Amino acid sequence: MHIKKLSLVNFKNYSELSVDLHNKVNCFVGNNGVGKTNLLDAVYYLCMCKSYFQVSDQYSIRQNQEFMVLQGTFHLNNQQDELYCGLKVGKRKQFRKNKKEYQRLSDHIGRYPVVMVSPSDSALIIEGSEERRKYMNAVISQFDRNYLEETIKYNKVLTQRNKYLKELGGRTSGNDLLEIYNNQLIPLAENIHKTRTRFVDELTKVFQNYYSLISQEKEQVSLEYASQLNDNKYGDLLRKFYQKDLAAQYTCMGIHKDELILKMNDLPIKKIGSQGQQKTFLVALKLAQFDFLKTVKEIKPILLLDDIFDKFDVDRVAQILELVADESFGQIFITHTNEERMRKLLSNFHGSHKLFKVDSGQVTSLKP
Ligand SMILES: Nc1ncnc2c1ncn2[C@@H]1O[C@H](COP(=O)(O)OP(=O)(O)OP(=O)(O)O)[C@@H](O)[C@H]1O
Ligand SMILES: [Mg+2]
């Protein structure tokens, strides 16, 4: 799969832009703050119906403007699709494929698989467990629509259950409402747990392989899925923690407490990993995610490598470029602040590519 043409109107720092892209490697160079990351985010947006970065859509519209439009010409399975996303301040987002509006955005998510590797991914290591649950959710949702719907439902019922526990204020419930919520939560939690277990299991093998390729077998890494449901049935946990839930006015047990433990040499990478090791960890994780999506969807996802070479030594940079130049990868976007360094990297690179200069919302194609 690849995107052939990208057009933006009022997206972040771009007022109007149209770029013809290469079907393999696209490199964007330019100074800080010129819009390199925003370009990659526009591609991500068209695939996932939202920005990789913001929770709120309003920040994707160019400041002081009323609307934005993103358009992309995608090639997938010998077919050309025109994707369109329009957003007006205070209005519902419109998303169309070949001029036909989607009923639900979830019908689009995952059809055009994409993997972003960004400096902001460090949050996955540094921040709390919610980041890692969000990560699992985002990846699994790209290939398992059922899972996406189950997590949405689970969170909805969980919110209702917590609200009810608050209303009870620590008193015992006089009706069956908690039981009703439990019966809704149990099958959802069990399914989500099963899917996450399988996902982490399969991802780990590929991830370890990529890590040792990039680092040339310097460190041992692993992923561990920790869940209260690993050794217990969810129904038993809810019964056992009934009094505790009443006192806490909150649901203490469930897959909303899951954790994905990221380890290097058997210790949390957060505690012992150097910056370069942490970055290698994240890149290997994302490449594993790429492989995973490719296998289940039988499509090569678009790979967005934002600022990837920062903090890497030359050996690791060379390994990564060699890896992604391989046939097993499809279209790739790479950003770099330094044109000379990018050119030097490309001089040892055998795949075909296009080089673009980004300058304050303008993009020009450079001679390779
Ligand atoms: N909604 C918006 N309206 C106008 N400008 C915006 C909006 N959102 C972001 N920007 C601008 O976009 C620019 C940042 O773009 P981007 O993050 O793509 O830069 P970059 O080229 O990746 O820089 P770096 O090399 O530092 O990563 C900033 O100048 C920021 O002010
Ligand atoms: Mg950037």
Of the residues 271, 298, 325, which one is the last residue of a structural domain? 298
Other CB atoms within a 10 A radius of the CB of residue 217 amount to 9
pLDDT tens profile 154-207: 999 999 999 999 999 999 877 789 999 999 999 999 999 999 999 999 999 999
308 lies in the same domain as 294: no
Q: Left (φ > 0), alpha (ψ -120 to 50) or beta: where does 45 sit?
A: alpha
Which CATH number goes with the domain that contains 137?
A: 1.20.1050.90
| Ligand with an atom nearest the CA of residue 65 | 1
Hey, which residues does 68 pair with through a beta bridge? 87
Total of domains in the chain: 2
Q: Which domain holds residue 256?
A: 122-298
d(CA 352, CA 368): 10
CATH of the domain at 60: 3.40.50.300
Which residue's alpha carbon is nearest to atom 15 within ligand 1? 35
Q: Does 196 share its domain with 338?
A: no
Q: Are residues 149 and 291 in the same domain?
A: yes
CB atoms within 10 A of CB 153: 15
The alpha-helical segments, DSSP class H, found in 298-352 are 314-325, 339-347
- Of 6, 9, 13, best ligand 1 pocket probe by most atoms within 8 Å of the beta carbon: 13
Tell me: the pLDDT tens digits for 318-358?
Answer: 888 888 888 899 999 999 999 998 998 888 777 789 999 99
Nearest Cα residue to 361 out of 62, 84, 67, 54:
62
Residue 186's contacts (CB-CB under 8 Å, 6 or more residues apart) are 234, 235, 238
Do 101 and 170 belong together in one domain? no
Q: Are residues 166 and 245 in the same domain?
A: yes
Last residue of a domain, one of 273, 298, 323: 298
Q: Could you tell me if 316 and 273 lie in one domain? A: no
Q: Are 195 and 317 members of one domain?
A: no
Task: Note the pLDDT of residue 217.
Answer: 78
Residue of 12, 19, 28 with the most ligand 1 atoms within 8 Å of its CB, for mutation: 12
The answer on 157 and 87 residing in a single domain is: no
**291 and 329 housed in the same domain:** no
pTM beyond 0.85: yes
10 within ligand 1 shell (Cβ under 6 A): no
Cβ–ligand 1 distance for 51 under 6 Å, the answer no
Q: What is the mean pLDDT of residues 66-80?
A: 96
- Which of these, 191, 206, 192, lies nearest to 295 by C-alpha position? 206
- Beta strands 353-359 and 25-29, pairing class: parallel
CB distance 36 to ligand 1 below 6 Å: yes
Domain boundary residue among 279, 298, 317?
298
